[in-house]
Amino acid sequence: MGTDEQYGVFQGDSRHQRMALIISMVIAYAKQQTQIELRDMIAGIYVANFERILGFWTDAAAFEDFIAEHCDWSEPRMMTWSRWLFQMPRPPRISTFSFATRFLSVPRKGSLVRKHFTESDELKRVYSTAKSLSRNKFDSFGKVVPLITPELFLFATIRTEGIELGERLRMAGLRLEALEEAATRQLVSPNLH
């Protein structure tokens, strides 16, 4: 993964949202993209937080159909987890060439490790909305940052002006009142989420 400077829009993610971010990178990598799109993050939330988010949908099939149709990700969740397990624990394969007393190490292609992604403008806009909607703040190395949960991120996707995927979410059978309540709930101890 990257530093906070590289992934500045992701600072303040809850542990559940961080896992969705990692899965969204796996998805973007599988699609051979150099950028994480909003649809990749929504698919990442689906894979990483299915049980947590399922209650906001009318049924599991509607949720899965939405991800396949609007996020361009129809791979079974367990297969995506397997992709992550295959990519993440292994360091990149490196070829080393000796030049007298110096070595040149070149990571081989085909590894997600150390892959750097940019964020799409839509993704940045939704994160900006999520930060403004967050009722929970916590201290991160002396800086107070808003806590972003998967529920808040989905709610922010719906609330961000001009986001087509947000309109599609709104029309897809989400239980919007329950999602809003969960997304804007004040947590007792936000550092633990």
Q: Could you give the number of structural domains in the chain?
A: 1
Mean pLDDT, consecutive 10-residue stretches, the chain (193 aa), reads 45 88 92 95 97 94 95 91 72 50 48 74 96 89 88 97 96 93 83 50
pTM for the full model?
A: 0.80
pLDDT tens-digit series, residues 114-146: 578 899 999 999 999 999 999 998 887 888 889
SS (H, E, C) 1-57: CCCCCCCHHHCCECHHHHHHHHHHHHHHHHCCCCEECHHHHHHHHHHHCHHHHHCCE
Would you say residue 109 lies in a domain?
Answer: no
The enclosing domain of 44 has a CATH number of: 1.10.1780.10
Would you say residue 132 lies in a domain?
Answer: yes
Pure H helices in the chain: 15-30, 38-48, 50-54, 60-70, 77-87, 121-133, 150-159, 164-171, 176-183
Would you say residue 22 lies in a domain?
Answer: yes
